[in-house]
Structure formats: C-alpha cells, structure tokens
C-alpha cells in the first residue's frame, strides 16, 4: 500500500446536476475515507467522514421529525455497507432487491456558523431518497455515480440532526442499467463512503488540472477552476494554483476573480524537468488550488495528476511517444458475500492484482464507473483504464437517456484528473445504434475533456461510429481484421469458454490456450491497439446467464481473485527483468485427461524449458514460436505422451535464460493433500470497523501446488478486534477459497485460526492500529 499521505489527497470533483429528476442536487464523487479527515486547517473547508454510527433497517419505516424518530429495531453499521449478506454463490438476486432505510444522527461541531453544508455520497445502489430532520431533499437515481445534497437551510446547528436515506435496491426500469436483461448483479445498500462537507459561501467546486505538451520543453498544466457562489461579497477574490512534488512547489500562478464565470483557467508554466507518468514508472504530482477573499484564505482543494501523452493511432496505441500493445482484462467490482460494499483496501488490491500479479497494462471498468479507490490504485501502480457508463445492451426511454448523459458528465468530472484513465466509454455496452443519443453522450464527454478520446463498446462491426476509437467485443477466433484505423478489442473468450478451477485438464489448458491465441493475433498487426479479455474475475449474475449457481465462470481468476492457469499466460508476458515467470496450464495427474490429450502447456518468459517426471527428462523444448509467432514470450507447448506412459513420479519444470537455470517448479505425483495454506493479503489493518483484508485458503501438495479437488470445510475462529466476512466453515472450491477479515472499532492483535479436518490448524496474526473517528 502507498503512504497515508497519498490517501489524504482530496478528489472532490462535482457539478451542478442536470437531467431528468435531478433538480436541486449537486453531483460529487466518492471521497477517500482518509481524505481531509479534519479538513484543511487554514481554510474554511472541513470534510468529516460520516462512515460510522449509522443505523440500518431492512424494513423501510416511516420517517418522523424531532422526537418522533424511533430507532428501535435498527442495527448499528459502518459504511460501506451491503443491504444483505449473501453466500458466495447459489443465492437468489431477489434476496437483496428491497427498499431499506439508513439513519445517521449527528451534531454540527461548533465554530462553523455562516458556512454551507453538504452531504456527499460516493454511491448508493440503486436509488436514494434523502431527508434531513424530516425534510425531504430529493431522490437520486443511479447506483454507480456520486451525488450530494445541500443541508444548510435545514440543519439544527446546536442539537441533534437526523439524516435518513431510503434505499431502493430493486431493478427499476427507469434507471440505467435496468430495463432489459443484464449480465451482472448490482446488489444494494450505501456501498461507498459518505462525507459531510463544510465550505464557505463561495468555494472551489471542482478543478480539472490538464497537463499539456508533456513531451516538449514547453510542457504546462492548465488548471481549470470551478467556483460555486452564494450570497454577495464585496471582497476581492483571488485564485492561486500550485504544482507540487510533495513539499516542493514547482510552479505557481494566480488570478484575480471579479466577474461571474463558469470557470477560471490558470496556466502553470516553466516547470523544468518533470518525470512522466508511465506504466512502469507511475509518477504522480499534486495540484493545489487556494481561494482568497482579500488577504484571507477561504478554501483549498488538492488533486493528483500525472504527466503523460496517450494516443490511439493507425499504428496502434502510444504512451509518451512509445508504442505499447495494450494487454488487459475487464473487471467487475463485485465481491463474494458483500456485493460491491468492499472498503478502500480491497478495491486497491484489485488494481494491484491486475497490474502486479497478472502484469496487465489496461483494465476496462465493465460496465460502469468503479470505485475511486480502485482508480487511485491504477494511478499508483501504472494500470491504464477504459472507464465507461452503466449499461448492458438495453436503451430506455427519453428520461432514461437523460440519466445516461448525466452519468457521462458525472463520470468525467469525477475522474478527469486520473492519469490512468485514457478513454471515456460513452456507449451502452453492446447496444443498438441510436444516433441522437450517442451524439449527446459523445458531446458531453468532449465538451468537458478534450484530452481523451471517446469509445463505444459494440458487438457489431457495421454499427455507426460516432466515437473516436472503434472499440469492439469480438469473441471469434480468429478475430476479424480491424475495420477502422483506431481499433481496440474490448472483450473476447469469456462466455464462449467458461472454465472452473476444478475442470478437467483439457478444458483448463484450452482456456489458457484461447487467451494466448487471441493475444498472438492482436500482436500480429499494429492496427490492433491491443485487447482486453473477458474477464479478470468470476462474478455473480442472473439465473439466465450463469452456470446454475449465479456465477459466471468467465474469469482468468475465480470470484475470490485467486488465479486460474489462464492468468499465468497474462503474467508470463512481462519481461523477465521484472519477474521470471513459470506457470503450468495444467494440474499434474495421469488419469484426469482424455487418452488422446497429451499436451503440456507452460506459460513462461524463459527461453528454454526442461520437464522431468521423477528423474527422467521427458521434454527439452524452446517456446512454441510456430503457433505463437507474434508474442514476445510464447508459451511452451509439447507432447509428453511417452513420458506419461513411463514410470510415474513428481513433475519438475526448469526454466532457463541464456543457458542458465533461473526458476524451478515442482508438482507432486502422489495425489495427496499435504498442507493447508492460510495467506492474508495484509498483516496490518486500521481498527475503524471498516478496513478489511482477504484471507486466502488453499490445500496444496508438498510443493505448494493447489490440489484442485480438495473440498474440505475449513472451520475458522477469530480472537481479537476482528470478524469474518464470509461463510464459516468455508468449503473449498477447486482446492481454494477466501474470506475477508474486517476490523472492529478497536486496536489490538487479531488471531485467525483455520482448522482442516485432516491437515490440522494454522494461525495467522494481524496487527490492528488504533483509529480516531470523526468529529460528528
């Protein structure tokens, strides 16, 4: 994880709401839990995270006023929160489709009179009707985009205030993505963070810091500032923008503000030497904006940026003037047990898995804007992003379209400072042509941000192209040649070849082979910018799409983010200077294969491979450049039929570079479960009642290779300030599985013990640091 200071960067990007049914709202993004917890000390802005002390009822009770609020029957919860805990598979989506009620009592801190107060929601699934002290503020429709309401005229300044949120988690046809079938589940609840924002009468509403001419010596940053003003002030106002590298100020510019304007531009120049943001070196800087009235500092705003030039050309994709073949995966942000309600650490972990474990250089946020924490991780780890609006094939009526256009605006304004984002997806995934509608969505994105291209994810080559880049879901092998000079394949494999971790060897190997074949073709022609496979992780879906248990087994990793062999192909395409990779695309057994199937596929960036069964050398091979001539690191594919027919034993794989042995992997031939592995992602957490980390459970052979048919129930016990998110006992699937460990609101040591019915017990310890909750 990156430093806490990076978590404290304030990314409040918001706009006046427009569109159907949105009058009176202000749209905001999700706020980082740690961001500006105490507010800017020198200005009038204060941000109070409001993620603790919530009350929750699955029954939508009537809201009263004053003393008539009755909290009997409510449970105390923290945010993010799912409206219903669920098994990881085999449940009915109707279980979470109901209207629930959240309440939060708070008292305004002293010394804040004369300021405006907003309540900011990062995401509520699917429609939120918000009241304060019994006064209805309005309904926000849409679960994937942020919003806020102004509370100022309705607050009790010196006594209890009651904020209530009625959450409708049904699949309403008036709200995108609903109205037709969709191949994913949305779940329910207040699943992203909530903050109370206190600002002066005139405040910095948004900042778009746009680096320009980054490859020249005249590189600069155009800082576009949006102000929100209420009331009349005769004081002279001034904006000041600074480019910072930590405590060092690189450039400063100021501007007097006297007239009313939609925005104000400040140009930061004379920057000197600047490190570029790149997938290998994701260098970040800060832009800090201050607002003064006379000589008094009244407001401050800070965001992060990166200097990079990303362009799609007829010769492919270029980052900072260098050709880069895009190789990535689609991601759903849903998790087992809690749906979308995972905190910042888990969201960032997904970015880490995709970039550092699977070695992808791009991800598509299919099929909706995803967590700001995930995008922060993409910025920090060097993972490019194609971000798109909510939807799946269906286009609704005029009001539905108005909401979608509004989602484009909200998405762009929330995320335009993320250097990782290189394209806006402004078309409903795989939808029919709708000229007028998509003229509007493209215009919405381009009018706000002319530095990034638009794309529109389609599944018909003959569809009308209104976007800048032709983005196409093509599941055929071989792919159709690109029909547009700017072309990116955005889905392949997926539903055409679902694969479980415990499928037979032929299917597991073929699943890996298909991903390799597509990327080999994409590498054959520079006209292909690259490809984004379907998909990263298995995910929950509706009954008409899944494998009868509400899971689409389309991922190169399972729903717990544990890799299948196909993930090894993606990992193997990195340079051995970054990591030497040796990943077999099979499990080691003699009989679990068709008699005619004798292929051993090994994904590796080595240049030579030796395979042993026991002490016998059964294969001595180079990469398969005949089948995969275009890949930088082709897989090894060899027939080991004769080797299998000989004496049985352990399998040993040896990888060589330049004639030197650099990596060895072993797989047992004994066919026995030898050990249980208990692996936490993190060993230190924050005791805020929110923070959580994944605990991976595996049953393996004596060398650590997963035993894919191990299915024992693992009993879990927890001592200390933590609790399990997940099923307990947990029955392994494909020899693996995971739960998440969530902290309580206390410091200490958590001891989690996993007990296998045959292999005994293992205990892991995690340190929990203390946490001081907010002031309200």
The residues annotated as belonging to the active site are 430, 491
Tell me the CA end-to-end span of the chain in Å, nearest whole number.
28
Angle, CA 293 vertex, CA 291 and CA 297 arms, to 5°: 55
Buried-exposed string 265-289: b where 16+ CB fall within 10 A, e elsewhere: ebebeebeebebbbbeebebbbbbb
CA distances, 304 to each of 121, 287, 289, 444 (Å): 21, 6, 12, 23
DSSP category for residue 596: T
Selection from 282, 295, 493 nearest residue 375 by Cα: 282
CA 149 to chain CA centroid, Å, is 26
Q: Give the three-class secondary structure for 587.
A: coil
d(C-alpha 204, C-alpha 185), whole Å: 36
Selection from 678, 723, 627 nearest residue 85 by Cα: 723
d(C-alpha 227, C-alpha 264), whole Å: 8
The β-bridge relationship of strands 722-725 and 760-769 is unpaired
d(C-alpha 704, C-alpha 676), whole Å: 9
d(C-alpha 299, C-alpha 319), whole Å: 35
The DSSP bridge partners found for residue 327 are: 531
- Output phi, psi for 163, to 5 deg: -95, 130
Selection from 240, 222, 192, 341 nearest residue 725 by Cα: 341
**Torsion region of 503: left, alpha or beta (phi above 0 gives left; psi -120 to 50 gives alpha):** beta
């Amino acid at each position: 994880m990156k430093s806490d200071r990076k978590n404290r960067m304030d990314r409040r990007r918001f706009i006046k709401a427009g569109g159907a049914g949105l009058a009176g709202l202000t749209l905001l993004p999700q706020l980082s839990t740690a961001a500006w917890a105490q507010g800017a000390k020198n200005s009038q802005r204060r941000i109070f995270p409001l993620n603790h002390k919530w009350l929750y009822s699955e029954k939508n009770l009537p809201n009263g006023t004053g003393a008539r609020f009755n909290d009997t029957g409510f449970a105390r919860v923290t945010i993010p929160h799912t409206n219903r805990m669920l098994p990881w598979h085999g449940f009915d989506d109707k279980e979470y489709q109901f209207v629930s009620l959240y309440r939060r009592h708070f008292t305004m801190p002293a010394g804040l009179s004369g300021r405006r107060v907003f309540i900011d929601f990062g995401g509520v699934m699917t429609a939120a009707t918000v009241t304060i002290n019994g006064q209805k503020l309005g309904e926000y429709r849409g679960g994937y985009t942020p919003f806020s309401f102004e509370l100022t005229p309705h607050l009790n300044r010196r006594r209890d205030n009651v904020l209530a949120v009625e959450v409708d988690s049904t699949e309403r046809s008036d709200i995108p993505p609903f109205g037709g079938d969709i191949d994913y589940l949305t779940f329910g609840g207040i699943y992203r963070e909530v903050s109370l924002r206190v600002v002066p009468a005139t405040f910095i509403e948004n900042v778009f810091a746009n680096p320009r001419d980054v490859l020249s010596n005249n590189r600069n940053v155009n800082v576009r500032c949006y102000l929100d003003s209420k009331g009349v002030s005769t004081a002279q106002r001034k904006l000041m923008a600074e480019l910072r590298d930590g405590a060092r100020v690189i450039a400063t510019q100021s501007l007097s503000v006297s007239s009313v304007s939609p925005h104000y531009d400040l140009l930061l120049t004379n920057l000197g030497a600047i490190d570029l943001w790149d997938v290998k070196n994701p260098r970040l800087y800060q832009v800090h904006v201050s607002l003064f009235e006379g000589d008094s500092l009244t407001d401050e705003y800070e965001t992060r940026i990166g200097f990079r030039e990303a362009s799609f050309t007829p010769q492919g994709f270029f980052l900072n003037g260098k050709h880069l073949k895009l190789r990535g995966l689609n991601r759903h942000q849903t998790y087992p047990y809690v749906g979308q309600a995972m905190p910042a650490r888990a969201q960032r972990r997904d970015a880490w898995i995709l970039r550092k474990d699977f070695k992808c250089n791009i991800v598509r946020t299919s099929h909706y804007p995803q967590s700001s924490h995930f995008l922060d991780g993409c910025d920090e780890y060097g993972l490019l992003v194609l971000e798109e609006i909510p939807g799946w094939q269906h286009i609704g009526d005029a009001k539905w379209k108005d909401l979608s256009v509004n989602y484009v605006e909200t998405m762009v304004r929330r995320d335009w400072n993320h250097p990782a984002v290189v394209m806006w997806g402004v078309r409903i995934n795989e939808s029919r042509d709708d000229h007028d509608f998509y003229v509007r969505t493209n215009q919405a994105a381009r009018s706000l941000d002319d530095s990034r291209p638009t794309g529109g994810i389609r599944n018909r080559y003959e569809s009308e192209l209104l976007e800048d880049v032709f983005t196409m879901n093509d599941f055929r092998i071989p792919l159709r040649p690109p029909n547009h000079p700017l072309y990116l394949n955005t889905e392949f494999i997926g539903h055409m070849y679902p694969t479980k971790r415990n499928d037979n060897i032929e299917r597991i190997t073929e699943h890996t082979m298909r991903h390799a074949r597509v990327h080999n073709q994409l590498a054959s022609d520079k006209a292909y910018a690259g490809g984004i496979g379907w998909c990263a992780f298995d995910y929950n879906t509706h009954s008409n799409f899944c494998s009868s248990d509400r899971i689409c087994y389309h991922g190169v990793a399972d729903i717990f983010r544990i890799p299948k062999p196909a993930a090894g192909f993606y990992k193997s395409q990195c340079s051995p200077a970054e990591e030497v990779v040796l990943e077999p695309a099979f499990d080691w057994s003699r009989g679990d294969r068709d008699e005619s199937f004798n292929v051993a596929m090994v994904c590796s960036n080595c240049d030579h491979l030796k395979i042993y069964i026991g002490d016998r050398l059964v294969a001595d091979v180079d990469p398969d450049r005949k089948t995969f001539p275009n890949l930088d690191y082709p897989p090894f594919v060899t027939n080991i039929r004769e080797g299998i027919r000989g004496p049985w034993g352990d399998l040993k794989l040896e990888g060589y570079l330049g004639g030197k042995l650099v990596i060895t992997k072993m797989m047992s031939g004994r066919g026995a479960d030898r050990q249980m592995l208990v692996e936490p992602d993190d060993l230190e957490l924050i005791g805020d009642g929110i923070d959580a980390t994944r605990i991976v459970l595996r049953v393996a052979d004596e060398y650590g290779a997963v035993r894919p048919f191990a299915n024992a129930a693992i009993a879990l016990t927890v001592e200390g300030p933590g609790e399990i998110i997940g099923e307990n006992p947990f029955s392994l699937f494909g020899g693996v599985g995971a739960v998440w460990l969530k902290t309580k609101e206390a410091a200490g040591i958590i001891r989690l013990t996993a007990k296998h019915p045959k292999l005994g017990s293992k205990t892991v310890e995690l340190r929990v640091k203390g946490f001081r909750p907010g002031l309200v």
